[in-house]
Amino acid sequence: MSKTLQTSHLSLNMIDEALVESFVNYLIVECGLSENTIKGYKGDLRNFSNYLQGEGIKRFQDLRAKMIVNFIEKEKQRGLSENSISRSLVTIKMLYKYMIMEGKISVNPMSSVNTLKLQKHLPEVLHYKAVEEILQAPDCNDKLGMRDKAILELMYATGARVSEVASIKVIWINFDYGYIRCQGKGSKQRIVPMGAEASKSIRRYLQEVRPFLVKIEADEPLLFLSRTGKKLRRENIWSIVKKYAIKAGIRSNISPHTLRHSFATHLLEGGADLRSVQEMLGHSNISTTQIYTHIDRKYLKSIHQKFHPRA
């Protein structure tokens, strides 16, 4: 599998095309969005880019908040539905949140823009057995396979985002107490239990693999390294997850975020409280975590329908 994600063919006239490609890559790798969703986002950004160029704007960074009001009015004049306009605004807001996160802008011009409440799509969740098959897929007789096993075990054990996994430092692991420190969005740090299996896989990786991968040790060395001794990129980890999902015979659109969704859902199905799951996921607002309760109810409903004689 190619380690370069296909985000090209955006538009010859797209402003800030390199930025948009980077953003789309983020949506694929970090957010785990489907191909159809990505296609819709690209169309929204092309349309918004055309509008900005008509206003004489050559960079997304130069957007002024009042332009959004004009953009919405023009979209209404084109006969677009409120749902379509709202989806465009969601795409644009995500782009500007990404630009804040990457340090491209310091003030978000979209922060005061309200969007219509769209129906939430439930994230894909793997069954326990499917997760287990992915975790067993790496060949632990191979050094990189042993590293990949540690990455997969850690992702499912902690629900860490792919960017967080790539940035974990060796000193952030505490084997004695069985937890790991994650640094999430906005450099916020949290402590997450990592479980016995993940701990065992990481310990073995540190002892038997990492010494062979490291070339020049940093003051605060990263946990996971590429075969050349460099930091793993988000795309690398995306490819690792995809590789072992295919090896395990799972053909659906699996991404690192699928493991994060599965981690949260399986905790709730096992009886964990929502606030604890929120803390482990690093959500600042519990309303973000509450989408997992909908998955849990759906799961319970399916069990009831299957086994209750009066269902």
Kindly list the catalytic residues. Answer: 161, 185, 257, 260, 283, 292
Cβ atoms of residues 126 and 250 within 8 Å: yes
Helices then strands, counting H and E runs in the chain, come out as: 14, 3
Q: What are phi and psi of 181, to 5 degrees?
A: -95, 130
Within a 10 A sphere around the Cβ of 107, how many other Cβ atoms?
A: 8
User: Do residues 56 and 15 make contact, with C-beta atoms less than 8 angstroms apart?
Assistant: no
Query: Cβ distance 250 to 130 under 8 Å?
Result: yes
The residue to which tokens 């692991």 are assigned:
173
Q: In this structure, are residues 190 and 182 in contact, taking their beta carbons and an 8 Å threshold?
A: yes
Q: Residue 283, SS3? A: coil
Collapsing DSSP states into helix, strand and coil, what is residue 190? Answer: strand
The string of DSSP letters for 14-74 reads: -TTHHHHHHHHHHHHHTS---HHHHHHHHHHHHHHHHHHHHTT---GGG--HHHHHHHHHH
> Within 13 Å, how many C-alpha atoms sit on residue 9's CB side?
4
Sheet-wide strand order for 173-174:
173-174, 179-183, 189-193
